[in-house]
Structure 1
């Protein structure tokens, strides 16, 4: 069987876990947590990084830091994972769903401006498949209307955006805050795990407090206060040292991981391009301002029915591709209190997008079989 995803060990992950246990500290904010945070701050010039137990937790921290309250409006793409919206719904926000671009699943900046009102507080661009949203356009809107931008960069590690003046920045370094994931389906994994990036120094201290259950415990351990107590709202967002140790073992091999994934992505694209030329499917679009971190490879089928048949055909060959999100505007939770609405591009990707198996240890022969079977389905050889 060729699964959709397969977790992997590439370096000293298990050795570092053993070291963490032997150190006598496997709760949060130990030596491996610091090593990981330093790695990201040094490599991507993120001003402040805080590891979390998940990307969801990082988004929830960002919602608190944005001071989102009941009645505030938050603009999120309809085509995204529930955490992108749920983090703000938990603060009482009214969710305003924006459509995707016509040629890729990322949020359309033109849709964002149309949806802004005097109650809008936050824009949440989601960098789908690790490909940058149009951050220059989005930041201009944020500046114009005095809004927060929280980048959902769950899939976007090691991906960049190039501004019109030639300036290049890592995704996550552009908005006010950003959230990343190290779930086992991501490029760099820790099973579960995430991180919050804070790009404005005035939020550094409060971010630490929120992450430490609303206490100033971090300042206490640095010797900045002589005791610590409850000073704000917060929760327990720290990952254990076991998660951080595994993650650090992966980070030491990031370039190797990324190189292999890009090779896999490019092979899919080159081999399946014939299907686009014949009008059977659309392949991923990488805008000029974006880089490709090879997080996933997907096809856009001609219909939902065709996608279903392709999935069934592939499973008969012991290959397991998967579809992705249900548009949040069509979700059971949203429809409890809201009328059914169509968001055309989002619904298009919901019905037709199909992700092919993609993981670091995907063997050449297995990828060859996947490509061959997709071509066979469309009778293209």
Structure 2
């Protein structure tokens, strides 16, 4: 069977994980945690990063840092993972969804301003498939209305918008290191990116169960104590060691995935020209990271037939998010502003193809061949 994903493995992870296991510190913020955070701060050119056990928890920290209160509103796309919304719902926010742009599956920035009310506190752009949202427009809107911008860059590591990395364009951002992402910290993991220095002191406190433990370890207080609300947002040193084993190969991982992405794009270009499928669009201001390759069928029925064809050929391809506003919890915790012109329609057409680091070229060729055969048989 051709799987949908294989977790990235560079061969460097074993030595660092074993070293961490043999050390006297396997809880968080050991030598590998510090190395990883320093790598990101240097690579992204940002003031501070903090490893977290997951991207979900990084987003939860962001909601705490901007002091989301009961009744606040947060604007985001409905076409996203549930964590994007849950992080703010947990703090009492009402989620306000706006429609997506069909070319990128990202939030349509032109619809944001009309969704703003006196209760709006933040905008949360989601960089789908590692393709940047229209951050110039989003940041301009946020500045005019004094709103926070929290980037959900779960899929965005190593991708750029104009000349800047995704994750460095808002006040706060979050990366994911889940096993399906380009880089993993052992199956789960995340990163909180703090681009606004005013959030750094409180972020360290929230991450350490609401204590000033970091100040204690720096010798700035003689004992640490409970000073604020917080939780345990610290990953183990084993997660950090695994991640450290991949960071040195981050550029190589991206290049390898881009090769597979290009093979898919060129191999399916003829079908797209014939109007059988729609392929991803990369705006000129964006440099993507090949996090995923998707195509769009003409309809939900055609997508179901193609997925069934893949299954018969032992190829695991998948559809993606069910729009959050159509879910039971979405009906309770959110509202959709304006017309759902594209969110549901486009989500029902989309299929993600197998793609992973080190994917053999004959495998992508087999997937392309089966797609061509499916559409040939339908003529």
TM-score (norm 1): 0.96
Q: Is the CA contact 1:329–1:343 (under 8 Å) kept in the aligned structure 2?
A: no
Output one character per residue of 1:296-321: Cα deviation in whole Å (capped at 9) or x when no partner: 00001100010000000011011010
Query: Over aligned residue pairs, what C-alpha RMSD do you find?
Result: 1.5
1:109 is aligned to 109
1:218 to 208, 214, 229: 214
> How many pairs does the alignment contain?
376
Output one character per residue of 1:152-180: Cα deviation in whole Å (capped at 9) or x when no partner: 00000001111xxxxx1111111000000
Any residues of structure 2 matched to 1:1-381 within 5 Å, and which? 1-162=1-162, 168-190=163-185, 191-336=187-332, 343-379=340-376
Q: 1:113 to 1:9 in 2, by over 3 A?
A: same
Give 3-state SS (helix, strand or coil) of 1:203's partner: helix
For residues 150 and 336 of structure 1, the distance between their equivalents in structure 2, rounded to whole angstroms, comes to 23
Q: Is the CA contact 2:8–2:182 (under 8 Å) kept in the aligned structure 1?
A: no
For residues 340 and 128 of structure 1, the distance between their equivalents in structure 2, rounded to whole angstroms, comes to 19
Give 3-state SS (helix, strand or coil) of 2:315's partner: coil
For residues 106 and 340 of structure 1, the distance between their equivalents in structure 2, rounded to whole angstroms, comes to 15
Shift of 1:361: 2.6
For residues 337 and 251 of structure 1, the distance between their equivalents in structure 2, rounded to whole angstroms, comes to 38
Shift of 1:336: 4.5
Runs of 4+ in 1 over 4 A off after TM superposition: 336-342
Shift of 1:338: 6.9
Q: Is the CA contact 1:49–1:197 (under 8 Å) kept in the aligned structure 2?
A: yes
Q: Is the CA contact 2:95–2:333 (under 8 Å) kept in the aligned structure 1?
A: no
Shift of 1:32: 0.4
Shift of 1:349: 2.3
TM-score (norm 2): 0.97
Shift of 1:337: 6.6
For residues 276 and 112 of structure 1, the distance between their equivalents in structure 2, rounded to whole angstroms, comes to 31
Give 3-state SS (helix, strand or coil) of 2:271's partner: helix
Shift of 1:344: 2.1
5+ residue gaps, structure 2: none
Does 126-135 or 216-225 show the bigger shift? 216-225
For residues 23 and 86 of structure 1, the distance between their equivalents in structure 2, rounded to whole angstroms, comes to 36
For residues 47 and 282 of structure 1, the distance between their equivalents in structure 2, rounded to whole angstroms, comes to 40
Does 180-189 or 329-338 show the bigger shift? 329-338
For residues 37 and 81 of structure 2, the distance between their equivalents in structure 1, rounded to whole angstroms, comes to 25
Give 3-state SS (helix, strand or coil) of 1:174's partner: coil
Output one character per residue of 1:217-244: Cα deviation in whole Å (capped at 9) or x when no partner: 0111011111111111111001000000
Does 5-14 or 119-128 show the bigger shift? 5-14
Shift of 1:368: 0.8
Q: 1:45 to 1:378 in 2, by over 3 A?
A: same
For residues 276 and 164 of structure 2, the distance between their equivalents in structure 1, rounded to whole angstroms, comes to 35
Shift of 1:343: 1.7
